[in-house]
Amino acid sequence: MFRTHTCNELTKSEIGTEVNLCGWVNTRRDHGGLIFIDLRDRYGLTQVVFDPSNNNNSFKIADKLRSEFVIKISGTVRERPEGMRNSKLNTGEIEVLVNDIDVLNKSKTPPFEICKTKKEHPEDLRLRYRYLDLRRDKMKNNIVLRHKMIKMIRDFMDNEGFLEVETPILIKGTPEGSREYLVPARLHPGTFYVLPQSPQQLKQLLMVAGMDKYFQIARCFRDEDQRGDRQPEFTQLDMEMSFVDTEDIIDINERLMIRLIEELLPDKKILKKPVPRITWHEAMEKYGSDKPDTRFGLELSNISEIVKNSEFKVFSDTIKKDGVVKALRVEDGGSFTRSEIDKYEELAQIYGAKGMANIIIGEKEHKSPILKFLSDKEVEGIIKETEAKPGDIIFIVADDFVTACESLGNVRLALGEKFELIDENLMALLWVTDFPLFEWGKEENAITASHHPFCMPHDEDIKLLDKEPLKVRAKAYDFVLNGSEVGGGSIRIHDRDLQKKIFEILKISEDDAKDRFGHMLKAFEYGAPPHGGIAWGLDRVVMQFAGEPNIREVIPFPKDQKARDLMLDAPSVMPEETVKEMHIMTTAKMDDVSPFMNLKEFLNKNHTHFEHLEHEPVITSEQAAKVRGTTLEQAAKAIIFETDTGKVMTVVSAANKINESKVKDLLKSSKLTLLTEEKLFELTKCKKGAVHPFGNLFKIKVLTDKKLKNNDEIVFNAGSNIDSMKIKYSDYLELVKPEIVDIT
């Protein structure tokens, strides 16, 4: 039997028992002739002891154990001596005296420490070795939390009568406002499947199919720019119900979320139950956000009424053009330095504000660059509306409603952080309702659906559809947790004519609608029940529950910020034949690919053998030699210079110093200047210190110092500071054909 117990099971009650344990060597300590090992598995740690007087053979083997070796031991459970107990461990009262040991597998030294969780390792390294990263406690706990949450959700939904139905991954596009991932259809040349942005249309079709209550833990795909809470593929708790209105959807989701918090986070406090509701308009007015963090106040004011006739044209003109003037009073903000005030103004500008005015409130006199344009009555009115007191600062933005609110809303969030106003022990849930059905798409310069085109308008707003579509509210709701939009949904249109009308407003022609959504319109002709639903961004919920600042921490195998899987090295260049078979052609140039992939592809194409060495980030040749375990002599250092006749790459052994005057003489160049970091990046897409010696790939001349040939194999940073390659010197010569020179 491999094991009788896990590494988290043994307590005083097993003292004297013979046990088998398996796991990884977490730490190893030598103490006065004894070897102590903390043995780790998914469940925990157990201290095991090797004593030569008990079994000398095992002791000798233990002497050779290193971190992350996989072992099996058999031994006897005994009480730890007084003073050696560890109350933090479940197994802290006991240890196992080892009789026999089996080394099940050895391990290379991991690229980062696994046993210590305090220090965060560079993320790209963690992502590359995700299977090692997941061995760390923090990551494992996140995965366990994720599992528990999904299990509880499934049980809850089942209990409520929902059916879990799988929907396909290869579908026809479903519009949710993002770019879609395409999959070429080999059997149908020139056509594509689309990966679902969500199962939206399918779940609505399941309602037409009479499934009544559907849910799915569904994978969704959106090809958009990555952020801290976004991933190109992510998981939703997706649901849809028939014969329901907003109240029914809110009720079931609220009960589920509260159950999850109470069971998984018993120490946290839910800010308010039942969950408060706020309309989209009110959320924007008060918090400057459609997903407000209500764990703290700092609410915005609307001072439009007070300044609508102001001499100060920035205010009055904005209001005339249907805009608003919004203010944010910051208690004690009068002490902000000039540069702090500038920083907040810059933040407001990032979110679209043209500028942000301020007034510092004094006992008698106030300070503000705009004071001279405002009447005393206006200033008093602003102070009264914002409830400002001496020592406070008031920030003011005049703009269209959304821009004014959102820019100040983001200043509000930054201030909440600065003044540490957020109680981390709170879970603040909120429903945001009554979203506008449409919005003005600035990029498209046209009306667009705020959510998706299947949302039902409010009954009393249907009459506005023709004349004032932007005023129409949707029967849509978002679920917000601690300022994160964790869910969103709506009651759907189930009437074919109304759906057609919405398509018309969105300028989707009849032909286009038929082409894209013909299946929906057709299905709606066969008795579609009234229905509605919602989807949770499940990763975001886990992220909030785990208190993690970024979504990648709660996804076992996430993509990085550039949407790459660093562990699998995806996306990757595919063999030409495979691409052809798909009836597609790529217009991408090799320059668009990362320098590492580019080089790899080049070596593969030439059937050149190379060894890929991955390591922690390095800058200098000395660091590189150390982490790679190679010599300084064999390191090929590539430097690019600007000369009279253009750019030149020199390659020398890192053990030798380049002699610049020799290079100058050789090239008959009066100048020899290092490329600036920007220029270097422009040419090579490599950072300083990471340039590989294949100058031919950058289409520049290469001079290689003759001393490099003293090595059978050379190593170099392969276009990134965490990847190196080792190749035969002779292969290098053949592929690059450099001029061999004496430049050291």
Q: Which is nearer to ligand ASP, 533 or 695 (CB)?
A: 533
DSSP 494-539: --HHHHHHHHHHTT--HHHHHHHHHHHHHHGGGTPPPEEEEEEEHH
Please state the closest distance from residue 490 (CB atom) to ligand ASP, in A: 5
Amino acid (one-letter) located at 639: I
Q: For residue 551, what are the β-bridge partners?
A: none
> Distance between CA 433 and CA 451 in Å, rounded?
12
Of 447, 501, 445, nearest to 471 by C-alpha is 447
CA 173 to CA 191: how far, in whole Å?
12
Q: Which long-range contacts (CB under 8 A, 24 or more apart) does 508-515 make?
A: 508/453
State the nearest-atom distance from the C-beta of 548 to ligand ASP, in Å.
22
Residue 436 or 533: the one with the smaller Cβ distance to ligand ASP is 533
Residues 21 and 5 sit within 8 Å (Cβ to Cβ): yes
Backbone angles phi, psi at 380, to 5 degrees: -60, -45
Q: How far is the CB of 493 from ligand ASP (least distance, A)?
A: 12
Closest approach of ligand ASP to the CB of residue 176, in Å: 5
Which DSSP state fits 623? Answer: H
- What's the min distance (Å) between Cβ of 557 and ligand ASP? 22
Using CB under 6 A as the criterion, which residues of the chain lie in contact with ligand ASP when the complex forms?
A: 176, 198, 200, 488-490, 533-535
CB of 193 to ligand ASP, least distance (A): 19
Phi-psi group of 264: left, alpha or beta (phi > 0 → left; psi -120 to 50 → alpha; rest → beta): alpha
Contact by Cβ (8 Å): 217, 237: yes
Residue nearer to ligand ASP on the CB measure, 432 or 534: 534
DSSP secondary structure string for all residues of 14-72? GTT-EEEEEEEEEEEEEETTEEEEEEEETTEEEEEEE-TTT-HHHHHHHHT--TT-EEE
Q: Which is nearer to ligand ASP, 304 or 490 (CB)?
A: 490
User: Is the Cβ of residue 489 or residue 558 nearer to ligand ASP in the bound state?
Assistant: 489
Minimum separation from the CB atom of position 535 to ligand ASP (A): 4
Distance in Å, CB of 69 to ligand ASP, minimum: 46
CB 533 to ligand ASP: min, Å? 4
Smaller CB distance to ligand ASP: residue 179 or 737? 179
Between 129 and 280, name the residue whose CB sits nearer to ligand ASP: 280
Tell me whether residue 275 or residue 535 sits nearer to ligand ASP (CB atom): 535
Tell me the closest approach of the beta carbon of residue 198 to ligand ASP, in angstroms.
3
Closest contact distance (angstroms) between CB of 564 and ligand ASP is 24
247 within 8 A of 218, measured Cβ to Cβ: no
330 vs 486 by CB, closer to ligand ASP: 486
The nearest distance, CB 644 to ligand ASP, in angstroms, is 59
Give 47 or 174: the residue with its C-beta nearer to ligand ASP.
174
What's the closest the beta carbon of residue 215 comes to ligand ASP, in angstroms?
11
| AA identity, residue 519 | H
Task: Classify residue 85 as left (phi > 0), alpha (psi -120 to 50) or beta.
Answer: beta
692 in Cβ contact with 704 (< 8 Å): no
Residue 235 vs 650, nearer CB to ligand ASP? 235
Cβ-contact 284, 272 below 8 angstroms: no
Nearer to ligand ASP, 93 or 176 (CB): 176
CA distances from 735 to 613, 702, 742 (A): 20, 12, 20
**Min separation Cβ 222 and ligand ASP, Å:** 9
Q: How many residues does the chain have?
A: 744
Smallest gap, in angstroms, from Cβ of residue 209 to ligand ASP? Answer: 17
Question: Measuring CA to CA, how many Å separate 630 from each of 129, 455, 585, 653?
Answer: 21, 62, 41, 12
Please return the burial class of 282, using the count of CB atoms within 10 Å of its CB with bins 0-12, 13-18 and 19+.
middle
Neighbours of 181 (CB within 10 A): 17
> How far, in Å, CA of 126 to CA of 555, rounded?
13
Q: Which is nearer to ligand ASP, 167 or 200 (CB)?
A: 200
Angle at 418 between CA 416 and CA 419, to 5 degrees: 70
| Distance, CA of 115 to chain centre | 24
**CB-based closest residue to ligand ASP:** 198
The distance of Cα 664 from the centroid of its chain, to the nearest Å, equals 48
User: Which residues on neighbouring strands pair with residue 234, listed in sequence order?
Assistant: 220
Backbone torsions φ then ψ of 277, nearest 5 degrees: -125, 145
Q: Which is nearer to ligand ASP, 176 or 539 (CB)?
A: 176
- Give yes or no for a contact between 251 and 212, defined as CB atoms under 8 angstroms apart: no
394 vs 535 by CB, closer to ligand ASP? 535
Tokens representing residue 554 in the block: 């709660």
Residue 515 has a CB neighbour count (10 Å cut-off) of: 11
